[in-house]
Amino acid sequence: MENNLDYGGSEWVPEAPSGEPERQYYFMDRVRELVERKKREGYGASCLVNVIGCQMSAKDAEKLRGILKGCGYREAESEDDADVILFTTCTVRENANQKLYGRIGRLKHQCERRKGMILGITGCMMQEKDEVETIRKRYPYVKLIFGTHNVYKLAELLYRTLRRDERTVEIIDDTSLIVENLPSLRKTGFRASVNISYGCNNFCTYCIVPYVRGREKSRSSEEILRECRDLVRDGVKEIMLLGQNVNSYGLDREELRFPELLRRVSEIPGLRRIRFMTPNPKDFSEELIDLIGERENICRHIHLPLQSGSTEVLRRMNRHYTKESYLALVRRIRKKLPDVSLTTDIIVGFPGESERDFQDTMDVVRRVGFDSAFTFVYSKRSGTPAAKWEGVSEELVKDRFHRLLDAVRESSSENEGRDIGKVMEVLVEERDREKPGFLTGRLSNNILVHFRGGERLIGELVSVELLESRGFYYMGRLL
Ligand code: SAH
Ligand code: SF4
């Protein structure tokens, strides 16, 4: 605990319960009383939670929104209308940090002008001491700073900030605590994500996640299943199970293994689609492939991060698989699941990456035929082992990045249109943003479909005939 930062985070409130989540419900009640009192003086009590980063960050935002609602806040229409603005942050690459500074810089005037305004920042970036120091010194109008391990404590931290009208900073280095049964507020009614584990034990040498999200902690399968059942009862049709490495779910405690957990989730009556993110290729089992084949409601889409196609680079990345074993896994998946779509993440310019290494990546891209790939330029993260290794020149990285993008485009275009003429099930997501009278939905394999239809179909599963391919999406006809 010595390394924790706590500038007034923990005020002694003797009558507050010490157990969780009761303690947080106690503080939600206290904040609500304060907010009600302030409302009589003209306080708007509106809030906004902004997400920078991945699905984990978005999931944290849902929890923060749920707690804020429990504290008596309503969702603001826009940033200008908000009395509390929170950011969940990302620090996986340097540009994510820059994004946050840009956004909070633009909020300076509002924070200084608006009485009682609270700007708060949480998430991965706040687990980095240097970033917290920068915010403390250069952004005095940021009133609330907390990390990834105490998101559940928002009500308590907000209570202190409101009562004392001064800045609260509380960062915890790591914890084994998982607080269940706090409120959460989703933006879409028909889709939801569910954490199955927190943190990561893999320590890929480029990655900051294990340092900012802590050691891997699996949630109890009972809690996961209960949450999934409640969501389905609430009308949710599609659930995404979230973990940094879903395949190592349960290894840290007496628990089910991931395929068994997935099977039980897929057996929940009424749950039409299940996705999961992210499996690590190093332990993607045969049992999991078979299960996906067996259960129709497990989506035909596997996101299988490659990172590099070079066995030598993978070794230095500490990924625990080789070019050959990755390709063999893809062959096994394709054999048993011929209709599955594969997507991936690739890093270009990892320290020491030679042209030959890069050619191995290009080779894997061409051989696998990914439907899409997120391609990233390597970003040095201080504190990770790779940060000490000599980098690849910017010029080379740029050149490789463009060549890789071309290869990805080319290989994904080979898959385009493969399902033309078929009738497939689509989960309708929203109105088509460009074409009035049209809707956008998603196939089980994650590919988008646009078709004419009425808004009342949003959130429904419908049958659509795929008529034409337009690159990364289809045009279809509702049946
Ligand atoms: N747990 C997931 C990844 C989480 S981070 C997994 O193992 O697949 C999401 C992606 O960001 C990674 O797959 C990787 O491609 C990319 N990434 C992580 N650290 C990075 C860094 N330092 N520079 C560039 N990209 C990085
Ligand atoms: Fe980062 Fe590797 Fe863990 Fe993914 S598995 S979060 S890339 S350390």
Task: Judge whether 136 lies within some domain.
Answer: yes
The per-residue pLDDT string of the chain (479 residues; one tens digit each, 9 = 90 and over) reads 334 555 545 556 888 999 999 999 999 999 999 999 999 999 999 999 999 999 999 999 999 999 999 999 999 999 999 999 999 999 999 999 999 999 999 999 999 999 999 999 999 999 999 999 999 999 999 999 999 999 999 999 999 999 888 899 999 998 989 999 999 999 888 999 999 999 999 999 999 999 999 999 999 999 999 999 999 999 999 999 999 999 999 999 999 999 999 999 999 999 999 999 999 999 899 999 999 999 999 999 999 999 999 999 999 999 999 999 999 999 999 999 999 999 999 999 999 999 999 999 999 999 999 999 999 999 999 999 999 999 999 999 999 999 999 999 999 999 899 999 999 999 999 999 999 999 999 999 999 999 999 999 999 999 999 999 998 899 999 99
Residues 68 and 166 in one domain: yes
CATH number, position 98: 3.40.50.12160
**What DSSP string runs through 271-308?**
--EEEEE---GGG--HHHHHHHHH-TTB-SEEE---B-
Residues 52 and 131 in one domain: yes
Task: Judge whether 110 lies within some domain.
Answer: yes
Task: Judge whether 179 lies within some domain.
Answer: no
CATH number, position 350: 3.30.750.200
Cβ 239 vs Cβ 274: under 8 Å: yes
Sheet holding 46-51, edge to edge: 5-7, 168-171, 142-146, 118-123, 84-89, 46-51, 74-75
Task: Provide the pLDDT for residue 118.
Answer: 96
Range of the domain at 449: 423-478
CA of 307 from ligand 2 middle (Å) equals: 10
Residues 159 and 192 in one domain: no
Which residue, of 299, 316, 346, is where some domain finishes?
Answer: 299
Q: Whose CA is nearest to atom 4 of ligand 2?
A: 244
Structure tokens at 407: 């290869």
Instruction: Verify whether ligand 1 is closer than 6 Å to residue 444 (CB atom).
Output: no
Q: How far is CA 218 from CA 56, 103, 253, 414, in A?
A: 14, 33, 7, 39
CATH number, position 428: 2.40.50.140
CA of 66 from ligand 1 middle (Å) equals: 28
Residues 307 and 408 in one domain: yes
Which residue, of 299, 317, 347, is where some domain finishes?
Answer: 299
Q: Rounded CA gap, 364 and 351, in Å?
A: 20
Residues 399 and 443 in one domain: no
Residues 323 and 407 in one domain: yes
Task: Judge whether 181 lies within some domain.
Answer: no
Task: Provide the pLDDT for residue 4.
Answer: 58
Task: Provide the pLDDT for residue 1.
Answer: 37
* Closest approach atom of ligand 2 to CA 203: 8
Per the structure, the count of domains in the chain is 4
Task: Provide the pLDDT for residue 372.
Answer: 94
Give Cβ neighbours of residue 38 (< 8 Å, ≥ 6 apart): 45, 116, 162
Task: Judge whether 176 lies within some domain.
Answer: no
Task: Provide the pLDDT for residue 353.
Answer: 98
Task: Judge whether 175 lies within some domain.
Answer: no
Residues 400 and 429 in one domain: no
Ligand nearest the Cα of residue 92 is 1
Task: Judge whether 177 lies within some domain.
Answer: no
Residues 309 and 337 in one domain: yes
Residues 281 and 304 in one domain: no
Task: Provide the β-strand partners of residue 48.
Answer: 85
Residues 156 and 16 in one domain: yes
Task: Provide the pLDDT for residue 2.
Answer: 38
Q: In terms of Cα–Cα distance, which of 473, 472, 418, 471 is closest to 451?
A: 473
- Name the burial class of residue 289, with classes exposed (0-12), middle (13-18) and buried (19+) by CB atoms within 10 angstroms of its CB: buried
Residues 208 and 304 in one domain: no
CA of 202 from ligand 2 middle (Å) equals: 6
Which pTM value belongs to this model?
Answer: 0.94
Give Cβ neighbours of residue 186 (< 8 Å, ≥ 6 apart): 62, 192
Give Cβ neighbours of residue 465 (< 8 Å, ≥ 6 apart): 421, 422, 423, 476, 477, 479
Task: Judge whether 278 lies within some domain.
Answer: yes
Q: Rounded CA gap, 246 and 254, in Å?
A: 16
Task: Provide the pLDDT for residue 12.
Answer: 66
CATH number, position 211: 3.30.750.210
Which residue, of 253, 281, 299, is where some domain finishes?
Answer: 299
CA of 123 from ligand 1 middle (Å) equals: 16
* Closest approach atom of ligand 2 to CA 280: 5
Strand 438-443 versus strand 473-478 pairing type: unpaired
Residues 405 and 429 in one domain: no
Q: Rounded CA gap, 146 and 212, in Å?
A: 12
Residue with tokens 């706040």: 126
